[in-house]
């Protein structure tokens, strides 16, 4: 029988990587706007995953105030460009300021305001190394299908916030996309209970 980690062990795992002042500022701005951000443990995880494939081109669904974007940037290579999509322009303005303060050049960021499923439909096929999705749960299935079009072979797909208490409709949407990822022979997937839960999958189309 697998031994469950104690609360102390769990807390240690989620705070193992120390966050710098820019990430802390982004988190503080999120609190001001009433947003729930990706946690430090999950942030460290997506940074690690971006680094494992030396990601250059990344799509993020859900800009927020730049918390997850900063984590992704820290794992991407020096030539990397982040395309971040959010329906809220105010959040993106805050994120742009955070990125600038962190020394990230403007040409490394492509912030697009709009509904995610409409924006990703216009992005280029097989052009992205990683997709991080942290948006509207009812859009998850559509975004999953679009992701497989956008990712290059060997790319990584990440869905955030898939564990916890949800409305019935959101829970059904999460269950549906979780099953699709698990059952897709083109994907090697894993569910990780870091933060609010992550599903990550490596795309292997052949």
Quick: pLDDT tens for 32-48. 999 989 999 999 999 99
pLDDT of residue 3: 82
List the structure tokens of 73: 């940037």
Lowest mean pLDDT segment, chosen from 3-7, 98-102, 173-177: 3-7
**For position 1, what pLDDT does the model report?**
62
What are the chain's domains? 20-203 (3.40.50.150)
What pLDDT does residue 206 have?
A: 80
Question: What is the rounded distance in angstroms from the CA atom of residue 68 to the CA atom of residue 74?
Answer: 10
Nearest residue to 199 via CA among 166, 158, 146: 158
pLDDT at residue 123, as a whole number: 97
How much is the mean pLDDT over the chain? Answer: 95
The answer to whether the beta carbons of residues 66 and 134 sit under 8 Å apart is no
- Read off the pLDDT of residues 98-154 as tens digits, 9 standing for 90 and up: 999 999 999 999 999 999 999 999 999 999 999 999 999 999 999 999 999 999 999
- For residue 58, the tally of other CB atoms under 10 A from its CB is 26
What is the reported pLDDT for 163? Answer: 93
Mean pLDDT of 151-161: 97
């Amino acid at each position: 029988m697998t031994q469950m980690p104690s609360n102390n062990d769990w807390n240690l795992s989620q705070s193992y990587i120390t966050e710098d002042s820019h990430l802390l500022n982004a988190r503080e701005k999120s609190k001001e706007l009433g947003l729930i951000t990706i946690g430090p443990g999950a942030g460290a995880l997506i940074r690690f995953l971006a680094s494992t494939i030396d990601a250059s081109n990344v799509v993020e669904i859900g800009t927020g105030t730049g918390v997850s974007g900063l984590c992704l940037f820290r794992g991407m290579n020096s030539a990397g460009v982040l395309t971040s999509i959010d329906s809220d322009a105010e959040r993106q303005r805050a994120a742009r300021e955070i990125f600038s303060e962190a020394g990230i050049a403007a040409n490394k960021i492509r912030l697009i305001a709009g509904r995610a499923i409409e924006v990703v439909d216009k992005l280029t096929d097989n052009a992205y190394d990683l997709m991080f999705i942290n948006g509207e749960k009812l859009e998850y299935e559509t975004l999953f299908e679009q992701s497989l079009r956008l990712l290059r072979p060997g790319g990584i797909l990440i869905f955030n916030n898939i564990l916890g208490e949800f409305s019935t409709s959101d829970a059904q949407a999460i269950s549906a996309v979780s099953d699709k990822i698990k059952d897709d022979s083109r994907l090697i997937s894993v569910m990780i209970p870091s933060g609010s839960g992550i599903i990550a999958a490596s795309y292997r189309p052949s």
